[in-house]
Amino acid sequence: MSARGSRRKGQGGDGPRSDVAPQPVRVRTVKEIAAIANVSVATVSRALQRPEVVSEETRRRIHEVVKRLGYTPNAMARNLRTARTRLVVALLPDIANPFFSEVIRGIEQVAYENGYSVLLGETQSSLVREQSYADMVAARQADGIITMFHRVPPIPVEGRLPVVNACEYVKDSSISSVYVDNVAAASAAVDYLVTLGHRDIAFVAGPATSPICVDREQGYRLALQRADIPANPALVAVGDFSIEAGERAVELLLSQGQSFSAVFCSNDEMAIGAMRALLSRGLRIPEDVSVVGFDDIRFSRYTSPALTTVSQPKTALGREAMTMLIEILNDPEVPPRKRVLSAELVVRGSTGPRGRGPGAR
């Protein structure tokens, strides 16, 4: 009988012999584990979730079976039952911006420490994509959102919005956020330039839609005011945070024949662009023009000269944001908080005492 080649595989065969290829790894269910360990599914689940309520003896037996068979509970089934995915969405406009990567790293760390995973939501600033990630929360595919954007998409869920704003913040006070005091940080940077003797200080702003950019600009104004320097609107250019934008902004100022001995940029990438524009015009940094950035991304230490910048605690921002989100997820009743971390000016080689300035060419 065993030689009858026409037997289709999987059919019949009640003896130990079998011509069916051995199933290498099988996906198991609690049921199987329960059957093999000779207990009920409830006991298996308990042995895995709250071992202390299961007797020593039984627990050991179950764990042995689980280990031997390489059983991993089906996360989807568990999630469905517990209504928790342990997934959070990190919403950000641009993953290639090293500032965000470092914030994400902080998020990831705390997430990992708490058994959460991070879903990457790069939006390219597209509203549609933003919304589609927000909808994942509505669809219960993720528990919450950390957004690094100045816009919080509407999430159709009942009760407390499981959202935390990192780096940016929205006016809506019902949303928790973590950020630095941008006004203070920016004005400290400009104060420093003033101390160095600069009076014609250009500013490369970020998009006005972002509150933190408005704050940085306000800090810039504030510092000028404190130093009794009249604000000169012609010295303010706007960019979109990209290197290229910084380059263009400074080129514009130079081509307009504006006279300035220092440039303060709303982020490091634009500062890098600014430096490039200055250098390619033959200007020396910091002898002719000083440059200050914002963020302190990893590369700003390695430009030449190294960039003086406002250092944001990037990883800490991410860690704190994730910590807050977990708090909210564990207890929707916790009141929303705004947490302000401190940023500090890091002086490097791109700033120096006032020199001739490009206007003096």
Which DSSP string corresponds to 52-102?
GGS-HHHHHHHHHHHHHHT----HHHHHHHHT---EEEEEES-TTSHHHHH
Of the two residues 41 and 214, which places its CB atom closer to DNA in the complex? 41
Report if residue 146 touches a second copy, rule: CB under 8 A.
no
B/e letters for 9-25, b = 16+ CB within 10 Å, e = fewer, are eeeeeeeeeeeeeeeee
Which DSSP string corresponds to 169-223?
--S-TTSEEEEE-HHHHHHHHHHHHHHTT---EEEEE--TTSHHHHHHHHHHHHH
Contact 2/17 with Cβ under 8 angstroms? yes
Residues 6+ apart with CB under 8 A from 120: 90, 95, 104
User: What gap in Å lies between CA 228 and CA 331, rounded to an integer?
Assistant: 49
> Which of 104, 146, 183, 326 is in the footprint of a second copy by CB under 8 A?
104
Q: What is the nearest approach in angstroms of a second copy to the Cβ of residue 211?
A: 25
Binding mask 251-290 for DNA (x = CB under 7 A): ----------------------------------------
Report if residue 138 touches DNA, rule: CB under 7 A.
no
> Per CB under 7 A, which region of 30-38, 93-101, 250-258, 296-304 contacts DNA?
30-38
> Which of 96, 230, 282, 335 is in the footprint of a second copy by CB under 8 A?
96
Q: What is the nearest approach in angstroms of a second copy to the Cβ of residue 123?
A: 10
The number of beta carbons lying within 10 Å of the beta carbon of residue 60 is 13
Q: Which of residues 41-80 bind a second copy (CB under 8 A)?
A: 70, 72-77, 79-80
Report if residue 132 touches DNA, rule: CB under 7 A.
no
> Which of 3, 21, 25, 83 is in the footprint of DNA by CB under 7 A?
83
Chain contacts with a second copy (rule: CB under 8 A): 23-27, 70, 72-77, 79-80, 85, 87, 90, 95-96, 98, 101-102, 104-105, 108, 112, 117-122, 129, 132-133, 135-136, 138-141, 156-158, 243, 272-273, 275-276, 279, 298-299, 302-304
